[in-house]
Amino acid sequence: MKTVAIVSRKGGAGKTTLAVHLAVAASIKGKEVAIIDLDPQASAAGWGDSRTTETPAVVSAQAARLPKVLETAANAGADLAIIDTAPHSETAALAAIRAADLILIPCRPAILDLRAISDTIDLVNLAKKTATVVLNAVPPRGSLADEAVEAIASYGVTVAPIKVGQRAAFVHSLTTGLTAQEYEPEGKAAEEIQQLYKWMCKQLKM
Ligand SMILES: Nc1ncnc2c1ncn2[C@@H]1O[C@H](COP(=O)(O)OP(=O)(O)O)[C@@H](O)[C@H]1O
Ligand SMILES: [Mg+2]
């Protein structure tokens, strides 16, 4: 089983959005997927409750239980675990970072968000791991994304080659327990997630 942690000390960066979209992308490809929601606000778990299908499995857990929960998922035959985290719990973020084969830091291409990622990168460094920033909610026009890539490079972390746009389908789909791929399969949001998922699989060698 491969494990992906989605972390950012900044609320609203897109952790839950990416977690559920990447999980469904894997499910669509026939993978057994578990989303592990470490956020006490339980947004991913709530989304899971509002789904009419059982896949992907969504489990709400506490950081201290993470190794055990991952072991249970692996024993149950999961191919992939995606850990969604809370912005304000350093303990939970560190637990997720330590457990992960791949660490993704969603970040909006805006100055306050870019400044805030140094906190998240410090945690990754503390665990002696490396992470990749995924630019999220990138406006369709303008140079914000390019400027963000430059700013992130100065922190010494890489940026994923696939950027996720600011798109209504990401918002609307979640309110009905779906993801963009299910809500609007031919849309741009679905296409971006498909590309990001492909890139993620390559990183994970799966
Ligand atoms: N790419 C995107 N396009 C449009 N809205 C987005 C996008 N990513 C996130 N959002 C919206 O931004 C808000 C915060 O996203 P969320 O995934 O909950 O962030 P986090 O889990 O990091 O706090 C939500 O309302 C979500 O629908
Ligand atoms: Mg969240």
Q: Rounded to the nearest 10 degrees, what angle do helices 15-28 and 168-175 cross at?
A: 80
Q: Which atom of ligand 1 is nearest to the CA of 106?
A: 22
Give the pLDDT of residue 122: 95
Q: Which atom of ligand 1 is nearest to the CA of 17?
A: 17
CB atoms within 10 A of CB 9: 21
Burial degree of 84 (CB within 10 A; 0-12, 13-18, 19+): buried
Tell me what the mean pLDDT of segment 51-64 comes to: 97
- Confidence bin at 52 (pLDDT 50/70/90): very high
Give the pLDDT of residue 51: 97
- 138: which DSSP letter? B
Tell me what the mean pLDDT of segment 36-56 comes to: 97
Give the pLDDT of residue 37: 98
CATH code assigned at 126: 3.40.50.300
Spell out which residues have Cβ within 5 A of ligand 2, the ion.
15-16, 43
Give the pLDDT of residue 62: 97
CB atoms within 10 A of CB 41: 13
Q: Which atom of ligand 1 is nearest to the CA of 166?
A: 3
Are 164 and 137 in contact, with CB atoms under 8 Å apart? Answer: yes
From the list 6, 67, 75, 13, the residue with the least C-alpha distance to 35 is 6
Residue 7 has pLDDT above 90, yes or no: yes
- Range of weakest confidence among 25-29, 74-78, 111-115, 197-201: 111-115
Question: Which domain, by its residues, includes 155?
Answer: 2-204
pLDDT tens per residue, range 128-182: 999 999 999 999 888 999 999 999 999 989 999 999 999 999 999 999 999 999 9
Give the pLDDT of residue 156: 87
Q: How far, in Å, is the centroid of ligand 1 from the Cα of 15?
A: 7
Give the pLDDT of residue 23: 98
Number of folded domains in the chain? 1
Residues 172, 169: Cα–Cα separation, whole Å:
5
pLDDT tens per residue, range 65-120: 999 999 999 999 999 999 999 999 999 999 999 999 999 999 999 999 999 999 99
Give the pLDDT of residue 49: 97
Task: Output the pTM of the full model.
Answer: 0.98
Q: How far, in Å, is the centroid of ligand 2 from the Cα of 190?
A: 20
